[in-house]
């Protein structure tokens, strides 16, 4: 049985609000399909580099996140290149950027090893 999913636009706006409450800047870089678009999250840690997270399902079908750019932060141009390639393949993709030097992403509850 599949779990009900929140519409992408609603999830993105709720996430931005959650970040705002914690004084973490977050904003939409690219809009996707409002109902069923997938979401990429770019965590910009300033001089420490960036991480890109993508939504995945684990072996049990549970929602999780994966570090799409690998286990270590990458330069911002590499993160942006990954996002560009992903949007070329899926134009319905949302891109959310979070700026936090501490690396906080309070809405990514479960991150798989990447």
Report the predicted TM-score, pTM, of the whole model to 2 decimal places.
0.88
Convert the pLDDT of each residue in 72-109 to its tens digit.
Answer: 999 999 999 999 999 999 999 999 999 999 988 877 77
| Residue 113 confidence (pLDDT) | 67
**Mean pLDDT computed over 49-72:** 89
Asked if the model's pLDDT at residue 71 lies above 60, the reply is yes
Helix%, strand%, coil% for the chain, nearest 5: 25, 30, 45
Confidence band for 3, pLDDT divided at 50, 70 and 90: low
| Residue 1 confidence (pLDDT) | 46
Asked if the model's pLDDT at residue 4 lies above 70, the reply is no
- Distance (Å, whole) CA 39 – CA 66: 12
- Distance (Å, whole) CA 27 – CA 107: 14
- Distance (Å, whole) CA 90 – CA 102: 30
- Distance (Å, whole) CA 60 – CA 49: 32
Among left, alpha and beta (phi > 0; psi -120 to 50; other), residue 49 is left
Please provide the average confidence, as pLDDT, over all residues in the chain.
89
| Residue 110 confidence (pLDDT) | 76
């Amino acid at each position: 049985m599949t779990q009900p999913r929140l519409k992408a636009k609603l999830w993105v706006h709720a996430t931005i609000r959650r970040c705002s409450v914690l004084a973490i800047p977050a904003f939409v870089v690219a809009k996707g399909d409002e109902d069923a678009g997938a979401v990429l999250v770019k965590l910009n840690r300033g001089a420490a580099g960036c991480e890109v997270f993508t939504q995945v399902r684990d072996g049990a079908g549970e929602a999780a996140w994966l570090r799409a750019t690998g286990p270590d932060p990458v330069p911002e141009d590499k993160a942006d290149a990954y996002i560009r390639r992903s949007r070329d393949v899926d134009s319905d993709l949302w891109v959310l950027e979070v700026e936090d030097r501490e690396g906080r992403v309070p809405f990514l509850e479960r991150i798989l090893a990447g």
